[in-house]
Amino acid sequence: TPASRGIIQGKVAIVKGVKDLPNVNRGDILVAVTTHPDYVPAMQKANAIVTDEGGVTSHAAIISREIGIPCVVGTKTATKTLQNGYVIEVNGNSGMVKIIKKA
């Protein structure tokens, strides 16, 4: 589901919990099951957000619109299909996430 408009490419940083937040670098694409308020500092470093769960009123969707980055939510399998280091394209206009290069 497209949740915040824009199209961007970047490197995947998978966040499965708070312990993974330091692994998100400026310009990465944060990929998580869902997001929580604890994730906001990492979300602000990311160029886009992709989540397995959620809709247009989810935490990830609202924060991504506030900070002006593309977001796709409700993918169901992003954290299982994608791996750290993959380069992907996030299309927040159409809701598509495309693998550009595997790590």
Quote the CA–CA distance of 64 and 20 in Å, as a whole number.
Answer: 19
For residue 101, the Cα-to-chain-centroid distance in whole angstroms is 17
Q: Where do runs of H (alpha helix) occur along 35-83?
A: 40-45, 59-67, 78-81
59 is a catalytic site residue: yes
Structure tokens belonging to residue 18: 């708070």
Among the listed residues 12, 13, 58, 59, the single catalytic one is 59
Tell me the catalytic residues. Answer: 59
